[in-house]
Protein backbone atom coordinates (compact mmCIF):
# COMPACT_ATOMS: atom_id res chain seq x y z
CA UNK A 1 0.00 0.00 0.00
CA UNK A 2 1.18 3.52 -0.76
CA UNK A 3 1.94 6.34 1.62
CA UNK A 4 -0.22 9.46 1.21
CA UNK A 5 -0.01 11.37 -2.06
CA UNK A 6 0.42 14.86 -0.67
CA UNK A 7 0.17 16.58 -4.08
CA UNK A 8 -3.41 17.58 -3.05
CA UNK A 9 -2.08 19.08 0.14
CA UNK A 10 -3.26 18.30 3.62
CA UNK A 11 -6.10 19.65 5.75
CA UNK A 12 -5.63 21.08 9.23
CA UNK A 13 -8.04 22.39 11.82
CA UNK A 14 -8.11 23.13 15.52
CA UNK A 15 -9.92 24.83 18.34
CA UNK A 16 -8.48 27.44 20.69
CA UNK A 17 -6.44 24.84 22.61
CA UNK A 18 -4.65 23.80 19.41
CA UNK A 19 -4.25 27.29 17.98
CA UNK A 20 -0.64 27.91 19.08
CA UNK A 21 0.55 24.57 17.70
CA UNK A 22 -1.31 25.07 14.43
CA UNK A 23 0.28 28.47 13.92
CA UNK A 24 3.68 26.74 14.09
CA UNK A 25 2.77 23.56 12.20
CA UNK A 26 1.44 25.29 9.08
CA UNK A 27 4.70 27.11 8.23
CA UNK A 28 6.71 24.00 9.22
CA UNK A 29 4.70 21.93 6.71
CA UNK A 30 4.89 24.68 4.06
CA UNK A 31 8.70 24.72 4.47
CA UNK A 32 8.64 21.02 3.54
CA UNK A 33 6.83 21.94 0.32
CA UNK A 34 3.46 20.71 1.57
CA UNK A 35 0.38 22.75 0.71
CA UNK A 36 -1.85 23.16 3.76
CA UNK A 37 -5.59 23.78 3.63
CA UNK A 38 -6.16 25.63 6.90
CA UNK A 39 -9.72 25.36 8.22
CA UNK A 40 -9.06 27.45 11.32
CA UNK A 41 -9.32 28.57 14.02
CA UNK A 42 -7.59 31.82 13.00
CA UNK A 43 -7.33 33.56 16.35
CA UNK A 44 -6.86 32.38 19.90
CA UNK A 45 -10.36 32.71 21.31
CA UNK A 46 -12.78 30.13 22.66
CA UNK A 47 -14.63 28.29 19.89
CA UNK A 48 -16.65 25.12 19.33
CA UNK A 49 -14.28 22.45 17.96
CA UNK A 50 -16.87 20.80 15.65
CA UNK A 51 -16.99 24.01 13.58
CA UNK A 52 -13.38 23.32 12.55
CA UNK A 53 -13.22 19.53 12.72
CA UNK A 54 -16.12 19.02 10.28
CA UNK A 55 -14.67 21.05 7.37
CA UNK A 56 -11.24 19.47 7.91
CA UNK A 57 -12.76 15.97 7.84
CA UNK A 58 -14.94 16.85 4.82
CA UNK A 59 -11.86 17.96 2.84
CA UNK A 60 -10.22 14.58 3.48
CA UNK A 61 -13.43 12.62 2.89
CA UNK A 62 -14.06 14.40 -0.42
CA UNK A 63 -10.48 13.82 -1.62
CA UNK A 64 -9.58 17.52 -1.57
CA UNK A 65 -6.73 16.77 0.85
CA UNK A 66 -4.51 13.71 1.20
CA UNK A 67 -4.97 13.51 4.96
CA UNK A 68 -5.85 15.66 7.92
CA UNK A 69 -4.46 16.97 11.17
CA UNK A 70 -6.79 18.01 13.98
CA UNK A 71 -5.71 19.57 17.26
CA UNK A 72 -7.56 20.38 20.46
CA UNK A 73 -6.84 20.14 24.16
CA UNK A 74 -7.33 16.40 24.62
CA UNK A 75 -7.91 15.58 20.90
CA UNK A 76 -10.97 13.56 21.95
CA UNK A 77 -13.55 16.09 20.79
CA UNK A 78 -12.07 16.61 17.32
CA UNK A 79 -11.52 12.86 16.94
CA UNK A 80 -15.12 12.00 17.81
CA UNK A 81 -16.38 14.73 15.48
CA UNK A 82 -14.24 13.67 12.53
CA UNK A 83 -15.23 10.04 12.94
CA UNK A 84 -18.89 10.97 12.32
CA UNK A 85 -17.89 11.23 8.63
CA UNK A 86 -18.26 7.85 6.90
CA UNK A 87 -15.03 8.20 4.92
CA UNK A 88 -12.91 9.18 7.88
CA UNK A 89 -10.79 7.08 10.17
CA UNK A 90 -9.43 9.58 12.68
CA UNK A 91 -6.99 8.35 15.30
CA UNK A 92 -5.94 10.07 18.50
CA UNK A 93 -2.19 9.97 18.90
CA UNK A 94 -0.15 10.90 21.96
CA UNK A 95 3.10 9.06 21.17
CA UNK A 96 5.10 8.04 18.11
CA UNK A 97 4.20 4.35 18.32
CA UNK A 98 0.50 5.24 18.24
CA UNK A 99 1.01 7.57 15.25
CA UNK A 100 2.64 4.69 13.38
CA UNK A 101 0.05 2.09 14.36
CA UNK A 102 -3.03 4.15 13.51
CA UNK A 103 -1.65 4.28 9.95
CA UNK A 104 -0.13 0.81 9.77
CA UNK A 105 -3.07 -1.13 11.22
CA UNK A 106 -6.09 1.22 11.03
CA UNK A 107 -5.45 3.13 7.78
CA UNK A 108 -6.20 6.37 9.64
CA UNK A 109 -6.56 9.39 7.38
CA UNK A 110 -6.66 12.02 10.13
CA UNK A 111 -4.27 12.30 13.06
CA UNK A 112 -5.74 13.96 16.16
CA UNK A 113 -3.22 15.60 18.47
CA UNK A 114 -3.78 16.54 22.14
CA UNK A 115 -2.05 19.93 22.28
CA UNK A 116 -2.39 20.30 26.05
CA UNK A 117 -0.58 17.04 26.75
CA UNK A 118 2.34 16.77 24.33
CA UNK A 119 5.16 19.01 23.15
CA UNK A 120 5.20 20.70 19.76
CA UNK A 121 8.30 18.69 18.86
CA UNK A 122 6.49 15.43 19.61
CA UNK A 123 3.54 16.63 17.52
CA UNK A 124 5.89 17.25 14.58
CA UNK A 125 7.53 13.85 15.01
CA UNK A 126 4.14 12.11 15.08
CA UNK A 127 3.00 13.95 11.95
CA UNK A 128 6.18 12.90 10.13
CA UNK A 129 5.65 9.29 11.13
CA UNK A 130 1.93 9.41 10.29
CA UNK A 131 2.39 10.82 6.80
CA UNK A 132 5.29 8.50 5.96
CA UNK A 133 3.75 5.23 7.19
CA UNK A 134 1.84 3.10 4.70
CA UNK A 135 -1.21 1.06 5.62
CA UNK A 136 -0.13 -2.56 5.99
CA UNK A 137 -3.30 -4.05 4.52
CA UNK A 138 -3.55 -7.82 4.71
CA UNK A 139 -5.36 -9.03 7.84
CA UNK A 140 -5.91 -5.39 8.82
CA UNK A 141 -7.88 -4.66 5.65
CA UNK A 142 -10.73 -6.96 6.78
CA UNK A 143 -10.93 -5.09 10.07
CA UNK A 144 -10.86 -1.66 8.43
CA UNK A 145 -13.63 -2.79 6.06
CA UNK A 146 -15.86 -3.41 9.08
CA UNK A 147 -15.49 0.08 10.59
CA UNK A 148 -18.06 2.01 8.53
CA UNK A 149 -21.75 1.64 9.41
Among 98, 76, 77, 80, CA closest to 89: 80
Range of the domain at 51: 8-145
Q: Is residue 140 one of the residues assigned to a domain?
A: yes
H runs (alpha helix) in the chain? 19-31, 50-61, 76-82, 96-104, 120-131, 139-145
Evaluate whether residue 14 is within a structural domain. Answer: yes
For 94-111, what is each residue's pLDDT tens digit?
999 999 999 999 999 999
Please state the pTM of the whole predicted model: 0.96
The strand pair at 10-14 and 68-72 is best described as parallel
The residues that are catalytic are 72, 105
Residue 1 placed within a domain: no
**Does 2 fall in a domain?**
no
Q: Is residue 27 part of a domain?
A: yes
In this predicted model, what pLDDT tens digit does every residue of 32-71 receive, in sequence order? Answer: 999 999 999 999 999 999 999 999 999 999 999 999 999 9
Task: For residue 78, tell me if it sits in a domain.
Answer: yes
Residue 110, domain member (yes or no)? yes
Is 3 within a domain?
no
Count the domains in the chain.
1
Question: CATH no. for residue 45?
Answer: 3.40.1400.10
Amino acid sequence: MAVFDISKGIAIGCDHAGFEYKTQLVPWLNAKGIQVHDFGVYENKSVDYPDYAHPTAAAVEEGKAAFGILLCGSANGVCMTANKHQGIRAGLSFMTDVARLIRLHNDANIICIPARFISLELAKEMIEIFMNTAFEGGRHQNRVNKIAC
